[in-house]
């Protein structure tokens, strides 16, 4: 049986899951491992609050424990990294690495620029993200984080979403000195190229960052 990397969207949005699956396309290659885009049908429409983050943690543990034996790695595809440490603990006996897209995106961005700007969906997300950066010890490298004011389900409005992302991204670059941007939601996956062109700096799509790390670990046996 060929090995597979399971990329799990912890919300119930099929549209977001489809966008994540499309973002994984450049990483698919002959000989695998395969990428499987998965989601939690019982999850909320979007993981947007601390209550959402806490509420899906054990759902993710149960879901990941039930993954098939071909599982070579798990990626939790939500920028709040819900349940990351609990799922890591649960999968450790199987020797399966578990990666969170926020942690991986920020580590990738730090290798691409000195000052990182993050585009969030909602103002209420920012304090939660900042706590994560503090726990990672990278707060001094954060140029700033700003929100576009749209929830996960509203990201389907492509024209409005991209317009707001460009406005916020350009402001982070121009006013706060960011020289690399991170998109702070898995639902933003389809906007990376357009945002990079408009902002003039590299843009990290978090699911791609985590999936690339998962691929390396699966291939190298780390």
> Residue 38 and residue 218: Cα distance in Å, rounded?
18
Structure confidence at residue 220 as a pLDDT band (50, 70, 90):
confident
Pairing verdict, β 116-120 and 98-100:
unpaired
In order of their start, the domains of the chain are 4-100+208-220 (3.40.50.12500), 103-205 (3.40.50.12500)
Burial of 29 per CB tally in 10 Å (0-12, 13-18, 19+): exposed
Neighbours of 154 (CB within 10 A): 16
Handedness of CA 167, 171, 172, 178 (dihedral sign): positive
For the stretch 115-154, pLDDT in tens is: 999 999 999 999 999 999 999 999 999 999 999 999 888 8
How confident is residue 69, by pLDDT bands cut at 50, 70 and 90?
Answer: very high
**Average predicted confidence (pLDDT) for the chain:** 94
């Amino acid at each position: 049986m060929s090995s597979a990397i399971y990329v799990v969207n912890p919300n119930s949005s099929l549209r977001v899951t489809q966008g994540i699956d499309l973002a994984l396309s450049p990483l698919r290659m002959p000989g695998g491992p395969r990428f499987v885009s998965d989601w939690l049908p019982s999850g909320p429409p979007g993981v947007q609050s601390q209550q959402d983050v806490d509420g899906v943690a054990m759902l993710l543990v149960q879901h990941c424990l039930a993954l098939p034996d071909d599982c070579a790695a798990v990626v939790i595809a939500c920028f709040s990294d819900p349940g990351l440490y609990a799922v890591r603990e649960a999968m450790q006996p199987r020797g399966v690495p578990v990666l969170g897209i926020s942690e991986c995106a920020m580590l990738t961005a730090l290798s691409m620029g000195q000052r990182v700007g993050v585009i969030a969906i909602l103002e209420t997300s920012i304090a939660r993200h900042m706590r994560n950066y503090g726990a990672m010890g990278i707060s001094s490298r954060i140029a700033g984080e700003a929100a576009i004011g749209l929830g996960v389900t509203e990201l389907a409005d492509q024209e409005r979403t991209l317009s707001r992302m460009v406005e916020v991204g350009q402001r982070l670059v121009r006013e706060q000195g960011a020289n690399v941007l991170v998109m702070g939601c898995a639902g933003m996956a389809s906007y990376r190229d357009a945002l990079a062109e408009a902002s003039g700096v590299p843009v990290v799509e978090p699911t791609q960052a985590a999936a690339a790390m998962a691929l390396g670990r699966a291939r190298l046996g780390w």
